[in-house]
Amino acid sequence: AQSVTQLDSHVSVSEGTPVLLRCNYSSSYSPSLFWYVQHPNKGLQLLLKYTSAATLVKGINGFEAEFKKSETSFHLTKPSAHMSDAAEYFCVVSGDTDKLIFGTGTRLQVFP
Amino acid sequence: KAGVTQTPRYLIKTRGQQVTLSCSPISGHRSVSWYQQTPGQGLQFLFEYFSETQRNKGNFPGRFSGRQFSNSRSEMNVSTLELGDSALYLCASSLGLAGVSHFYEQYFGPGTRLTVT
């Protein structure tokens, strides 16, 4: 069975500073991992995905994530936060059941 | 290309009633998935349809059902509504089935917010 844990429910940063959203996963199989973003009153948008190719994955809007099998982690980072990055972020795993399992989400606040 | 559309966007129902939500996928997409999003349980997978057949199902009671039409449009139905069914229901479409070896990106609609009183 697969599961995903987002270690922080809220993260606050100042504009221009780095962003780190943490995600740990559990999977019996080689997982596919994703990060989605949800802006208020909007649907989810795929930021990036890992599907057993390069361990460092680059996504849209300057985000990237690194798959670390030894640490079972898939943390999302961005070098410099922008006000428009304020949203809820979901770490997602897909494994042997072909279902997407969503984490509980991390709300990112960006202060000017 | 038009995105995923969901109707209605907002809905208020009373306990015991039933409700039908509609989802129109992106043109050419054959897979439609449904999710329930609540503050307490987060995002949970309901079911996935591909070529008019349910291919995957989450852990929800039988009161939750769905179907897909030949044009890939999908509906989900919830019968005998309970207060706990209040949620944002999200629909996502993709070219093919989400799977382990290859993942078709899922495009989400804005959701239908259902309130049960």
CA distance B11 to B9: 7
For A102, residues 6+ apart whose C-beta sits below 8 A from its C-beta are: A4, A36, A90, A91, A92, B35, B42, B43, B44, B45
**Hey, are the CB atoms on A103 and B42 less than 8 Å from each other?**
yes
Chain B partners within 8 Å of A51 (Cβ): 102-103
Query: How high is the pLDDT of residue B9?
Result: 95
CA distance B90 to B43: 9
For B20, residues 6+ apart whose C-beta sits below 8 A from its C-beta are: B75, B76, B77
CB pairs < 8 Å spanning A and B: 59
Q: Which tens digit of pLDDT belongs to each residue from A58-101?
A: 999 999 999 999 999 999 999 999 999 999 999 998 866 667 88
Closest CA to B32 of B63, B1, B70: B70
A99 vs B58, B102, B110: nearest CB: B58
Q: B-contacting residues of A 39-98, CB under 8 Å?
A: 41-46, 49, 51, 90, 94-98
For chain A, the C-alpha Rg in angstroms (whole number) is: 13
Chain A partners within 8 Å of B35 (Cβ): 102
Closest CA to A76 of B75, A68, A84, B7: A68
Q: Which two tokens stand for residue A16?
A: 């221009």
Chain A partners within 8 Å of B4 (Cβ): 43
B43 vs A45, A94, A102: nearest CB: A102
Q: Which tens digit of pLDDT belongs to each residue from B72-90?
A: 999 999 999 999 999 999 9
Closest CA to B99 of A45, A81, A46, A32: A32
Residue pair A32/B103 in contact (Cβ under 8 Å)? The answer is yes
Distance from CA of B10 to the nearest CA of A (A): 11
Question: Is the bond leading into B8 cis (omega within 30 degrees of zero)?
Answer: yes
Residue pair B103/A44 in contact (Cβ under 8 Å)? The answer is no
**Hey, are the CB atoms on A49 and B105 less than 8 Å from each other?**
yes
Chain B partners within 8 Å of A43 (Cβ): 4, 90, 92, 107-111
End-to-end CA distance of chain A: 41
Find the DSSP H helices in chain A: none
Query: How high is the pLDDT of residue A2?
Result: 80
Closest CA to A74 of A11, A16, A27, A12: A27
Query: How high is the pLDDT of residue B93?
Result: 92
Query: How high is the pLDDT of residue B101?
Result: 45
User: Given a cut of 60, is residue B99 above it in pLDDT?
Assistant: no
* C-alpha distances out from residue B67 to A61, A99, B32, B40, Å: 36, 18, 10, 27
- Strands A44-50 and A100-102, by their bridges, are unpaired
C-alpha angle A4-A85-A13 in degrees, rounded to nearest 5: 85
Ranked by mean pLDDT, the top range of A44-58, A85-99, B13-27 is B13-27
